[in-house]
């Protein structure tokens, strides 16, 4: 971070917390949280709060949350016999296979941009994969749990349910969704507002959200205190103020970002938003990614090898072996530090 010139209080994506801890850039909060009632911390979604804890210490507090789930066309699912969203992967696969038969070669069931790492990781977590092993020192991608999830992910393309395209190859996903080029999309809460703004009026009553069949990612952003700030006391008071359910509810009304505290969801603007309710359900089942500074680099390698495998430029065996090799190299410094009795 730039010459100790950090803000006193700042927003930080929760997957970046381990890196800022390793840089000794943020201050632990446990001493300050001792004065909080237990009910206040219990008000946070547990899986989200877990992303703010590392080495048995709390380093930030959740500010807003996001996770991934289904956005789908209710009319197209109803057309193939599903008036309610499926709740298992088997039922989703059945629905998507039927949707595929509604159109020609250009009709797909689901859009899964192949340059994104999130769905392969979500499926892996649902299959019980750990992603890393031995205190997060090595890749664990040739593990049968990850292999099974990865193979399932690839089958969505092999069976023609998803087009092998990246985000940059989609001209306008909102237009394609409205046109019925695909009926299902895995995305986050920011698209509630985007769908409302970008979809034509003729489709506005024909889409909905649904939780995934299992865990999803614990995403979002948190508020952290600069370790070197000379104004930590004042910054902490501001953090406490912003952490109040009333302020989180107000932040949702201003931005559409979902509150990290359960009690804030009772505000009428959110409680009456039918598209947000699946997110509240999904947030009860979220899991963090490995809490290490190297995670963002590892995630990029997952996306890289997933894309090569979807494009059939590598086999599953080749991709997972290469992924383990790359990740082991990324984690080399971590292994050395742990061998010296140091931690990140």
Which CATH code, of 3.30.200.20, 3.20.20.100, 3.10.20.740, 3.40.190.10, is assigned to 2-66+218-282? 3.40.190.10
How many Cβ atoms from other residues are within 10 Å of residue 55's Cβ? 11
pLDDT in tens, 186-220: 999 999 999 999 999 999 999 999 999 999 999 99
Rounded distance, CA 37 to CA 46, Å?
16
Which one, of 284, 303, 298, lies nearest residue 45 by Cα? Answer: 284
- In 311-330, which positions are buried (b, 16+ CB within 10 angstroms) versus exposed (e)? eeebeeeebbbbbbebbeeb
Q: Could you tell me whether strands 184-187 and 69-73 are parallel, antiparallel, or unpaired per DSSP bridges?
A: antiparallel
pLDDT-derived band at 3 (thresholds 50, 70, 90) equals: low
Q: CB-based contacts of 45: which residues, under 8 Å, 6+ apart?
A: 62, 65, 218, 260, 262, 283, 284, 286
Judged against a pLDDT cut of 90, whether residue 1 lies above it is answered with no
CA atoms within 13 A on the CB side of 149: 25
Domain boundaries, the chain: 2-66+218-282, 68-112+163-214, 121-161+303-344
Residues facing residue 62 across a β-bridge: 222
- Can you give the pLDDT at residue 255? 93
Tokens (6 digits) for 24: 């000794």
Helix (H, G, I), strand (E, B) or coil at 90: helix
Q: What is the pLDDT of residues 277-305, one digit of tens each?
A: 999 999 999 999 999 999 999 999 999 99
Name every residue whose Cβ is closer than 8 Å to that of residue 23 and which is 6 or more positions away in sequence. Answer: 1
Q: How big is the chain, counted in residues?
A: 344
Token pair recorded at residue 19: 């890196």
Check residue 6 and give its pLDDT.
86
CATH architecture of 121-161+303-344: 3-Layer(aba) Sandwich (3.40)
pLDDT at 4: 64
Q: Is the pLDDT of residue 2 over 80?
A: no
Q: What is the mean pLDDT of residues 226-248?
A: 97
The CA-based dihedral angle spanning residues 112, 113, 118, 121, taken in that order and rounded to the nearest 10 degrees: 70
Angle at 264 between CA 262 and CA 269, to 5 degrees: 125
pLDDT by residue (tens digit) across 125-164? 999 999 999 999 999 999 999 999 999 999 999 999 999 9
294 touches 331 (CB < 8 A): yes
Domain 68-112+163-214: give its CATH code: 3.40.190.10
Residue 123 CA to residue 79 CA, distance in Å, equals 27
79 vs 74: CA distance, rounded Å? 9
When the pLDDT of each residue in the chain is averaged and rounded to a whole number, the result is 95
Q: What pTM, to 2 d.p., does this model score?
A: 0.94
Q: Does 330 have pLDDT greater than 80?
A: yes
Structure confidence by residue, pLDDT tens digits, 84-115: 999 999 999 999 999 999 977 789 999 999 99
Mean pLDDT of 4-23: 91
User: What pLDDT shows up at residue 26?
Assistant: 96
pLDDT in tens, 38-62: 999 999 999 999 999 998 999 999 9
pLDDT of 230: 95
Residue 273: band (very low, low, confident or very high) from pLDDT cuts 50, 70, 90? very high
Check pLDDT > 80 for residue 183.
yes
**Per-residue model confidence as pLDDT tens digits over 109-135:** 999 999 999 999 999 999 999 999 999
Same fold, 2-66+218-282 and 121-161+303-344: yes
SS3 4: helix
């Amino acid at each position: 971070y730039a010459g100790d010139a950090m803000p006193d209080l700042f927003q930080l994506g929760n997957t970046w917390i381990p890196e800022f801890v390793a840089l000794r850039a943020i201050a632990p909060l446990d001493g300050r949280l001792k004065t909080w009632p237990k009910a206040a911390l219990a008000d946070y979604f547990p899986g989200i709060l877990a992303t703010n804890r590392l080495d048995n210490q709390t380093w930030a507090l959740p500010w807003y949350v996001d996770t991934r789930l289904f956005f789908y066309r209710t009319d197209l699912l109803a057309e193939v016999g599903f008036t309610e969203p499926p709740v298992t992967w088997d039922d989703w696969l059945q629905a998507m296979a039927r949707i595929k038969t509604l159109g020609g070669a250009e009709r797909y069931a689901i859009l899964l941009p192949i340059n994104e790492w999130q769905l392969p990781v979500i499926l892996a977590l649902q299959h019980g994969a750990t992603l890393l092993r031995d205190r997060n020192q090595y890749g664990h991608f040739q593990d049968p749990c990850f292999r099974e999830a990865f193979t399932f992910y690839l089958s969505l393309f092999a069976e023609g349910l998803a087009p092998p395209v990246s985000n940059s190859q989609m001209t306008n996903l909102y237009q394609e969704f409205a046109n019925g080029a695909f009926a299902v999309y895995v995305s986050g809460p920011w698209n509630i507002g985007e769908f409302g703004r970008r979809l034509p009026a003729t489709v506005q009553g024909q889409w909905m959200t649904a939780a995934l069949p299992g865990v999803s990612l614990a995403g979002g952003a948190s508020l952290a205190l600069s370790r070197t700030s000379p104004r930590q006391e004042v910054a902490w008071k501001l953090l406490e103020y912003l952490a109040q359910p009333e302020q989180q509810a107000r932040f949702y009304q201003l931005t559409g970002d979902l509150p990290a505290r359960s009690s804030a969801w009772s505000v009428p603007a959110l409680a009456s938003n039918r598209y947000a309710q699946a997110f509240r359900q999904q947030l009860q089942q979220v899991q963090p990614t490995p809490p290490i500074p190297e995670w963002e680099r590892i995630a990029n390698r997952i996306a890289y090898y997933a894309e090569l495998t979807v494009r059939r430029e590598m086999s599953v065996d080749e991709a997972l072996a290469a992924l383990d090799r790359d990740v082991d190299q990324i984690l080399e410094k971590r292994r050395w530090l742990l061998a010296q009795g140091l931690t990140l």
